[in-house]
Amino acid sequence: MVKKDIAKNINSDLHASFAIIGGSSTHSIDFPVGQAKVKILDEKEIDTPYGKSPQFRLFEYNGKKILTCKMHGWRNGISRADASMQVFWVLQQAGVKTILGEGGVGALSKRLKTRDLIIPHDFVDLSSRRNLVLNGSHLLIMREPFCQNIQKAIVNSCVDEGKERVFEEGVYVCTDGNRFETKAEINMMKNWGDIVGQSLGPEASLARDIGACYGSLQMVVNYAEGIVGQWDYDEFKDIFFSESQSIANILLKSLSLLDEKASCQCANQRKKSLLK
DSSP state of 243: S
Stretch binding Zn ion (CB under 5 A), from 3-11, 48-56, 115-123, 211-219: 211-219
Tell me which DSSP letter residue 194 carries: S
213 touching Zn ion, by CB under 5 A = yes
Candidates 9-17, 53-61, 71-79, 258-266 — which segment interacts with Zn ion by CB under 5 A? Answer: 258-266
Q: How far is the CB of 272 from Zn ion (least distance, A)?
A: 18
Q: How far apart are CA 144 and CA 137, in angstroms?
A: 20
Per-residue x/- mask for Zn ion, residues 130 to 159, rule CB under 5 A?
A: -----------------x------------
Q: Output phi, psi for 119, to 5 deg.
A: -110, 95
Give the residue with the Cβ less far from Zn ion, 40 or 142. Answer: 142
Would you report the helix, strand and coil content of the chain in percent, each value rounded to 5?
A: 30, 25, 45
- Compute the least distance from the CB of residue 98 to Zn ion, in Å: 8
| Helices and strands in the chain, H and E counts | 7, 15
Phi/psi for 23 (5° steps) reads -130, -155
Residue 264 interacting with Zn ion (CB under 5 A): yes
β-strand 213-223 against 117-118: which pairing, if any? antiparallel
How do beta strands 64-69 and 18-21 pair? Answer: parallel
Binding mask 225-254 for Zn ion (x = CB under 5 A): ------------------------------
Q: Which among 179, 256, 175, 249 is positioned nearest to 26, based on CA atoms?
A: 249
Of 48 and 98, nearer to Zn ion (C-beta) is: 98
Rg (CA), the chain: 18
- Binding flag, residue 207, Zn ion (CB under 5 A): no
Q: 248 or 266, CB closer to Zn ion? A: 266
Size of the site for Zn ion (CB under 5 A): 4
Q: Which stretch binds Zn ion (CB under 5 A): 26-34, 60-68, 220-228, 261-269?
A: 261-269
Q: Is the separation of the CB atoms in 53 and 73 below 8 Å?
A: yes
Query: In terms of CB distance, is 145 or 193 closer to Zn ion?
Result: 145
Is 266 one of the binding residues for Zn ion (CB under 5 A)?
yes
- Contacts with Zn ion by CB under 5 A lie at 147, 213, 264, 266
